[in-house]
Each structure stands twice: as structure tokens, then as C-alpha cells.
Amino acid sequence: MMATTAQTQNRQFVEYADLPGVRLWDTDSGGSGVPVVLLHANTGNADSWQYNIPGFVEAGYRVFTFDRRGWGRSIAKSGHRLSAGHRRGKIFTRWWNT
């Protein structure tokens, strides 16, 4: 199968973000398109989007996914009681500044 233009120009970055209360596993498709954040279901992880990401990238979007606190590859840190909204704000700020 031949790679499309979008696939060859964008490579996915996978990393951990150390945020208050969580070591968050996240992905970034790269590129300069309009950002789209894909959130997995309560009991899943970011892998649930693996077949959708190429279509979004092909359409010109920059795609972000992450494993929610305590799910998948993300690690919940004990003793922290921050709201999910606070954590999302931290990760979105980090992504938008890259």
C-alpha cells in the first residue's frame, strides 16, 4: 500500500506529559492543520482512534489523542485531587504552544 501525501508529511509523536496528578500518555499527528482532540470512552484508551486518525490527517487536521488519567498508558499519581477540566486545560495549553 502506498503512503498518501498527508501520511508522508506528518509523523506522529508519542510521549508522556508530566502534569499535576498524572503522567499523561499522548499522541500528536504533527502538521499545521486545525487541531482536533479525540477523547476515548470511559473504559478505553487512545488506541480506539487508531483507524480514524489517518482520515482526519488526510483531510488536513492535526490530531491529538491521550489516555485519560488512570486508563491505558497514563499513570495516576496518588494524593492529587485536580478536576478533569484542570488537567485537560494543562494538556491543551501544552499542545497549542508547540
What is the average per-residue pLDDT within 70-85? 68
Q: How confident is the model at residue 2 (pLDDT cuts 50, 70, 90)?
A: very low
Strand ranges inside the chain, DSSP E: 13-19, 22-28, 35-38, 62-66, 75-76
List, in order of start, the domains of the chain with CATH numbers: 5-96 (3.40.50.1820)
pLDDT over 80 at 57, yes or no: yes
**All residues at 6 or more sequence positions from 51 whose CB lies less than 8 Å from its CB, including other chains:** none
User: pLDDT tens across 7-44, in order?
Assistant: 334 457 888 888 888 888 888 999 889 999 988 887 88
Where do runs of H (alpha helix) occur along the chain? 5-9, 53-58, 84-96
Q: Given a cut of 90, is residue 53 above it in pLDDT?
A: yes
CA atoms within 13 A on the CB side of 17: 25
